[in-house]
Structures are given as C-alpha cells and as structure tokens.
A and B are shown apart, each in its own frame.
Chain A
Amino acid sequence: MKKTQATMKKELQVTSLFYILAIILSHLPLLLLKDSFYHVDFLIPLFACILVLEKHVLTLFKIFLFGLLTDLLLGSTLGVYALSFLLIFTVYYFFIQFIAFKTNLQKLSLLIFITFFGVFVESLTNIEELNNLAINQLIINSLFSSLAGGCYFLIMRLKRS
C-alpha cells in the first residue's frame, strides 16, 4: 500500500519527536543506571525501529547524515553512529532479502537482533571506550537498548493501529 503525502508527513513528525526524546534521554541519568558502567542506547533502537517498521524510505546518504547529526548532538567521536547506522542498515537489508518478516513477533525479533548488532558495532567503534570494554557490560547494555527498542516498537505499532 502506497503511503500518502499526509501519512509520510505525520510519520516524519512522530519520528522527529522520538528522535528529540531519545537525545534528551541520552543526556539524563536514569534512576536504576546511575553508574556509567551500564547504559541504554536510545538512538540505535530508534533507528532499528524505523527500519523494521519501514517508517521512511531511507537512502544511504540520509542514513549517513542522520548518523553524523547524532554524533554531533551527543558529542561522540565523529563517524561512530554514521558507521553503526550504515552497518545496521546492511544487516537489515541482508535479512529482508532472504526472510519475509510479516508478523509483529517476527519484526520484533528482527528489531532485537539488529539492536544487539548495532550496540556491539557502536561499542567496538568507540575507540575511547574500547580499552575498558567488558563483554558482560556489552550484553547488558544491548539488553537494555533492546528493551528501549521494544518500547518504541509498541508505541509506534499502537499509534498505527
């Protein structure tokens, strides 16, 4: 079903709102995660959710710019999010070529998988933190981020229905 201009505009507004929210949440200390050893990445699950729910027709250049903007706003090393988003997109594209994700559960599984992958890539490309990277930290951070992804998914799904 082809999207109308109004639907696309509405989707863009909702995504922008989520993006601003994700940026704000990234700056706030969460009550249960005061120690910086664990954290929730709010941007990667959001991007994964946009991909899985096919909210926008994304081009590689748009994804690259989106990543760079995120790097600038978060103050992280330039290119980290751009690379992560591009690789997430590649993995997503690879999957949808072979498997059809039709039901919500299937889409949610894909979302969790690519969020895990995205957090791994983002942590590995972040050279500053690489020396202190621990595998348990990485897994727990991915779990937290997947949880955030699940929340995005539910809200976006609810909105659609």
Chain B
Amino acid sequence: MAQQKTQRLRLFTSSNFSFLHFCLLILTSIFLIGFDNKYQLSEKIHQKIFFLKSPFYSIINLPWDFYESLEFFYTNQQSLFNENIALKEKVQNLEFSLQQLESAKLENAQLRKTLKIYNLKNFSTIPAEIRLPININEKNKLFINKGESHEVIQGAPVINNDGLIGQVIFVGKDLSEVRPLHSSNFVINASLINGKENVFIFGNGSSLLEIPLFPIHRQINIGDIFITSGIDKIYPKGIKIGNVIEIIEERKGQFLKIIIKPFAHPQTYSTVSVIREKL
C-alpha cells in the first residue's frame, strides 16, 4: 500500500518537476493563449505547415470521393434523362437572363459614359467544391478543392448563389482553406444596398454577423440588406452579405449593435466560386 502511494506521488513530485514547475507551465500556457489571441501565432504556424496537412485532408476525403464515383457509375438512365431535362430548362432560363443582362450591360456602359464613371475592375470566377473537414474540434472550417494549380490566390473572396461565404486564407497545391464570414476574425467593409452607410461588419464566431457600434442617429431598419462596398479592393462591389435581423441599443443609447444574418449559411453550400481579378 505504502509502495503504491509512493508510486502515485511520483507522478507529481518526481525529481525533475515540482510545484514551481507546475506553476511555470500553467503560466506559460496562459501566456501562450494570450499571445496567440493577440498575434495569431497559431495561424502563422498553421500557414507554414499547411502543405503537410493537405495530404491528410485528401485522405479523409477519399471515402466520400469513392462513394461519389460509385454513385456516378451506377446512376441509371432514367435519372440521367430527368437531370438532362432539368438542365435544359435551366439553360433556357439562363439564356433569357443573359439576354436581359446583355442589354443592361449596354445600358450601363452608356450611362457610365454619360456620367464619366471609370470602369470597375473585371473579375472572373473559379468554380470549386467544398471538401472535408468542415469542422475541426468544434470550429467551423471550410476547405475547397482548388489551389495554387488552379490560380487561386490568398485573400481571394469566395461566394455562392446566396452571397458571400468567406475569404481564402491558406492555399495549398490542390486545396485551399477559406475563412467563413461568420468566424471570429472576419471583418468586411460593407454598405447598405442603396449605397448608404459604409460600415465594418464583424464575424463573431456564431452563425450571425454584427456591427458593434453603429451611430444611433443613422437610419437603419430590420430587413435592410448589406452588400460589399468594394472600397477595400478585395471584394468586388455588390456581393450580398446579409440582412439586419436585430437592432440593440449599446453604451447607454449612444450606439446601436446591429445583428446581421448572412444569406449564405455554412450548412447550405456544396459548390462555391472563388473570385479572382482578371489580369
């Protein structure tokens, strides 16, 4: 019994470590947490070792890829036929929209000429698919199957049909990591859809976005839509971000806290587009 007790005690009071070491290590851990939160040290390390992690992410995607190829191989003729009809209908609708767009484009060019507005930069899109992991130990993650080899660059915005999704933060050869717009460190310059009110919208780690200090004298209503302002020169102007769902008074009524629900929810997209500037 006594021997057992001594053996247990050895765990904490071994010759190498003492209570002082314990306190030192606890303090080091707390210091590291604080330092990392301030200087984003883990992100920098993550960026350096991203190429090491890429093969691992490819491996965890293997079962899904295998299932998809099997499904594609065994899809019956009827379902392909139905899909074909649906796609044809979609193409027709898109062609109609394209015609309208062409006339709007001409009208826009004419108006720009009249008003002497300079042309905005042109952008092209790179289609991509969402890959696993979508969640690493509680944190939402977003990986796409396009990387350096597809000319994806760090900082490029990522969108889908619903609106803005996030921004590329790490680029591997055939894989990139996207920071979703609702993650804690995400900030974006936005304006209301009518062009008024240039503000910074922050992600807060939940599924919603917020404007922490919005001046109370400015006009804003529930349901107002925010779009990218284009001022930051990263996100093209006019990408939908979200709409206002809640307005809360802050700092004894001097400011408002605006809660915004993003149009693109992390669970709703499987294919996305990476925007890149045309050279």
Residues of A in contact with B (beta carbons under 8 Å apart): 24, 26-29, 34-36, 39, 41, 43, 57-61, 64, 67-68, 71-72, 74-80, 82-83, 86-87, 90, 93, 96-97, 125-129, 131-132, 141
Q: Say whether A132 contacts B204, CB under 8 Å.
A: yes
Q: Given A75-B42, A86-B22, A61 and B29 touching (CB < 8 A)?
A: no
Say yes or no for B112: interface residue by CB 8 A criterion.
Answer: no
Q: Say whether B36 contacts A27, CB under 8 Å.
A: no
Chain A interface, >50% SS class: helix
Q: Given A78-B36, A83-B29, A86-B26, A29 and B135 touching (CB < 8 A)?
A: yes
Stretch at the interface among B13-21, B98-106, B190-198, B242-250: B13-21
Residue in chain B with minimal CB distance to A128: B184
Report B-chain residues with C-beta under 8 Å of the C-beta of A141: 138
B138 CB to closest chain A CB (Å) equals: 5
Say yes or no for B205: interface residue by CB 8 A criterion.
Answer: yes
B168 CB to closest chain A CB (Å) equals: 16
Q: Say whether A86 contacts B25, CB under 8 Å.
A: yes
Stretch at the interface among B4-12, B215-223, B230-238: B4-12
Given A75-B139, A132-B206; 16 other pairs, CB 8 A cutoff: A27-B60, A27-B132, A57-B10, A71-B42, A72-B49, A75-B136, A77-B37, A79-B29, A79-B31, A82-B25, A86-B25, A86-B29, A128-B139, A128-B205, A131-B206, A132-B204
Residues of B in contact with A (beta carbons under 8 Å apart): 8, 10-12, 14, 16-17, 21-22, 25-26, 28-33, 35-37, 41-42, 45-46, 49, 56-57, 60, 132-141, 184, 204-206, 266-267
Residue in chain A with minimal CB distance to B140: A36
Report A-chain residues with C-beta under 8 Å of the C-beta of B132: 27-29
Q: Given A59-B16, A61-B16, A131 and B205 touching (CB < 8 A)?
A: yes
Report B-chain residues with C-beta under 8 Å of the C-beta of A36: 135, 138-140, 266
Q: Say whether A74 contacts B25, CB under 8 Å.
A: no
